[in-house]
A and B are shown apart, each in its own frame.
Chain A
């Protein structure tokens, strides 16, 4: 690349002025020198043409439309507020509401889910069954509604009921204790009057006692074979030797 042409301009200087030339900012002697170098330099001449063509290509590109919903997504990911909410009009002035209406509105709002549950047939059926069971249990226990009506709820009456119930429970416990003591003493007297019984005899050692060897006994039972002679029903007058002998093997299992 020639560094300097007859115009006196060097290539790096041309490169620095190229953008200004394309922007139309060069004038006078500077523009003349630039053009002279552009015509004379074999490297800078094509560079000018290419840069100009490239700029024209790029200027032909139009702006692209951002996708719909981009702003809403940005707002949602930054402030977490939807765009429509920001544009929502201010709430209009509402008519004055008394505190009683507010309480009623709050109560109806709070009771709405409970009332909705109660109105279901399944809940009504369960409630009916529970009421029926309670009525039966009270009638069996001898509790009458008329008795409940006579209960006094005055503090003095409640206190009296509490103490009387406590005294009744203590009395019941003491009576039970007295009865047990009497019974145990009678049993002791009986034992003293009865003569002493002889000591139980020592059990004989049985030959085939296998109670202490349960496993062996069981094994033997499983494998035990017993050969028995069974006499068939025969007419009288025949000796034992004349009778036919039948050998039967039985397998018995003792559980």
Chain B
């Protein structure tokens, strides 16, 4: 995914105070980090704030990056994941008071998950790439536990390999695979249950 030497040079330039090098890093990784934050946090506003926080933290800790210990993208993802976990712990109390049927879409007038699905009369496979189904799956993803959610996001949305995910999550590869399996199955059950209620 990335040329180790090129990225290492980019990081060295950045540490030396080259603003253009830092901008190149931001341009390269902002999309990826924003998507991880969006899928994990569920909200576009939260994702934007979290992405900024990730880059601020990255900017401060850039000298601590050692390219011999792992890929830069893994290091960046680890920072993102740690920040997301902190954010989850901070907002846990708020979420506990939320309605269990409340949607997690970024739109304020977003309908609950069951009501969103009421609009689809066709089988889900037919509209799997449509925006509405995407929002439904996104909402269901938000219902997973954070351990399962982060595992499936890194594997199925960010296409990271199991070893990299194990490094980011600081768990063995077997645990990563198990969490991915359970996360996928839980998501399917959640969507299936919702569709069955609608039918």
Q: What residues make up the interface of A, taking CB atoms closer than 8 Å to B? A: 15-16, 18-19, 47, 49-64, 66-67, 70-71, 73-75, 77-79, 81, 83, 86
Contacts and interface: CB of A to CB of B under 8 A. Distances in A.
A58 B152 contact: yes
B187 A79 contact: no
B48 A67 contact: yes
Between A54, A61, A66, A81, the greatest number of chain B beta carbons within 10 A of the residue's beta carbon is seen for A54
Interface residues of B, number: 45
Interface stretch (B3-11, B50-58, B70-78, B110-118): B50-58
B103 interface: no
A57 B177 contact: no
Given A47-B181, A67-B44, A74-B30, 16 more contacts: A50-B185, A50-B188, A51-B181, A51-B188, A57-B137, A58-B152, A59-B156, A60-B137, A61-B157, A66-B30, A66-B31, A66-B34, A66-B48, A70-B48, A71-B26, A86-B19
B58 to A, nearest CB: 8
B51 A74 contact: yes
Contact of B38 (A55, A64, A79, A83): A64
B63 interface: no
Nearest to A56: B128
25 contacts: A15-B181, A16-B177, A19-B162, A19-B177, A19-B180, A50-B189, A52-B184, A54-B187, A54-B188, A55-B184, A56-B128, A57-B137, A58-B137, A58-B152, A60-B134, A61-B134, A63-B31, A64-B44, A70-B30, A71-B30, A74-B30, A74-B52, A75-B23, A83-B23, A86-B20
B76 to A, nearest CB: 13
B191 A57 contact: yes
Determine the main DSSP class of B at the interface with A: helix
Contact of B35 (A49, A64, A75, A83): A64
Contacts of A83: 23
A62 B192 CA distance: 21
Contacts of B187: 54, 57-58
A18 B20 contact: no
Nearest to A85: B19
Nearest to A73: B52
Interface in B150-184: 152, 156-157, 162, 174, 177-178, 180-181, 183-184
B22 interface: yes
Contacts of A70: 30, 34, 48, 51-52
B127 to A, nearest CB: 9
Nearest to A50: B185
A206 B183 CA distance: 118
Contact of A60 (B39, B129, B178): B129
B44 A53 contact: no
A116 B177 CA distance: 76
B156 A58 contact: yes
B133 interface: yes
Given A71-B30, A81-B19, A83-B23, A54 B185 contact: yes
B51 A66 contact: yes
A18 to B, nearest CB: 5
B55 A74 contact: yes
B156 A78 contact: no
